[in-house]
Structure 1
């Protein structure tokens, strides 16, 4: 262990050795992506290889681990200039980390997070092959990482808001939730449901891990999710037809691993034929939507929206549930009057030269910022 109180363990074996500390620190933190089994499976399936992660365990004066900061080292562009960065795991997107609705690290509390982050930066500065910056990306305002970075980095431009995810409160009667929807959307839902009823017997249901037919229903979900426009003759992004299997293997592992939070499949059938299927997770007071699919030949009946309506109604009726996390920021979710949680990205300088240069470049407006119209010319066209 270094003088800074930081001990570093590496890869999946290092994570396994820190499991007791990780689970103690997250015992009362029910964000699904910080639960040990989820994080372990994520590292088992990321395309860049989980064994590249260095877990920085920070111990207090008594020797107790009070925070774990998982970092990977990669080159990232800052204003088109490449820098070697230490990156908090899940700060950047790939087909596996995108299933985490934000990013953070396990810690005992805000004070411990700040002390741990200072110790980790000091440890990185003593490394022989220094990183230029430490990136804490995709963090939200209520995260420990955001609070710690706010205390450590005092510059006026320490955070950039890029992207985010959407969620909705279900801690209310469904009638109240539905009342907030636009009249046009409510009419559309009623109309498509009436039209669907004319086809025959319409049934909604759910299957959870442990049910006798879970494997069959999960395989059916995979087939439906990879059909239509996401199929082999469309974008090729469906789980079964994707050129890489990382995301499919990851979600399959979550669905079948018994110590992962409750996994659910919600489905919609017409005359016994499944026309929509969705993969969800329950953790604490939150229900999480991972993947949504429907048979495109039924698209005019809005089976995806009808099934979401059913899941939201069920969630509102469940006193243990408070929120539904859609993970995505897709525009079509706005029909449900969702809330938006922005992600913040903070670059903490590590090396003197590289860190200073990166900080200076971050003060230069990005291409998107240059596209903002001049305040004195509200009607002017945006520059190309």
Structure 2
């Protein structure tokens, strides 16, 4: 038997009896997949791990608190033998052989009639990897191959084209703060399968170089105080390409619903009768301070944090922010789009009671290779922006958390 490779097959165990012998770590690792497959599981073991006991308490399996006994593997479809008793394992595998039950044995794979492959899942696909050479079984190598394939499917670097017609629609994808590795797995997968990508300057630009040459990329940048593509034009582009039957990804920086005008695009698509999938992204309001060594909350220092848009100055009648109330908070204040207005913001906060010595950090191009951090106080914030020529995009953090960790730029 050892001279021939194993024959790969997928077992359909829904509602079918499966017996697991042993309740230790091996069973704990294997049981979730059997439960997910819908198997009718009986577990035989005097003792089990706390996690296995929780599965039994939840009704996901039946636990018989005793050792293996002859007859346990009668009228079943599949057996997993994983006790610490080698003699019991040998007797159980012999019973499985007599009853023609496919049996996995954790302590001696050569004596088993079935092997468990290294498996992973991605978008409705199960990847299963088996070692073909029985004499050279290397579980770590098998698992590494599994991981490489699954990761490639998830992050879009391994693309298997769909041969069925895809339903047209739009995916509103949050690209994260700028580092291409910080986009979500789902976002990257949708990006890899897109026909059209409509992006802006805050989206992770490096991801665009990975797109196939046939993908149409539309620049919808809204540069601060500069060139921009009107929101109505962006909405129309999304609708037009989706109506042509294309898969469209709207790639935005950060999260689509955190100052990203994402809901405006969702509403426009809904009015046009076009399906839209929203994929949340990592917001720069949390990730950029973290990348610069600043926690937005910290025990004994800040129990809350507030995120505010600074694109409109406090003395502008269009402002919707209650700056006097913010000045009274003791937690962390995170300001996005506030480079041009920080001097006025600082002045307003100080005027309403915030200490001029309150620590402040400006983090430009956060999470990218160009990231830099400039530290100041409320009293010196305006001067710091000018002296260090801080440009958008930059995240501003105000509060004692600025001084909690080491300053990487120091």
Per the TM superposition, whether the score is higher than 0.5 is no
Which structure shows the bigger proportion of residues in strand conformation?
A: 1
> When the two structures are superposed, what TM-score results if normalisation uses the length of structure 2?
0.23
Which structure shows the bigger proportion of residues in helix conformation?
A: 1
Higher Cα radius of gyration: 2
> When the two structures are superposed, what TM-score results if normalisation uses the length of structure 1?
0.24
